[in-house]
Structure 1
Amino acid sequence: MLELRAVLDFSDAMTFMIALPNILMLYLFAPMVRREVNQYIADTALLSRVDRPR
């Protein structure tokens, strides 16, 4: 029977392995996400100016 420590070590290693591709993709897609967020903010600001009654 496996010891609890070995199971926890394996679980930690698998969690790290699952997180690696996510962290890598966050780094690679950061410029695109920044552009999209800035465009969204600009579009939202434009819409709020159009919808505002005078």
Structure 2
Amino acid sequence: FEKQQISVKHLGRLSDEEFKQCGVDIIGARRTLHDYAEIFQNTSNFQAS
């Protein structure tokens, strides 16, 4: 992530391989990022309605 610019809303869409390319190679870290991206997306959808 130091060299990549990724919007939070796109984190939930990244594959395991894409996370690895960004330097996130720990399964728990990927899962945590997916979970928080989902929470962010749900919060964003709620605020938009």
TM-score, L = length of structure 1: 0.42
| Higher share in helix | 1
The structure that has the greater radius of gyration is 1
TM-score, L = length of structure 2: 0.45
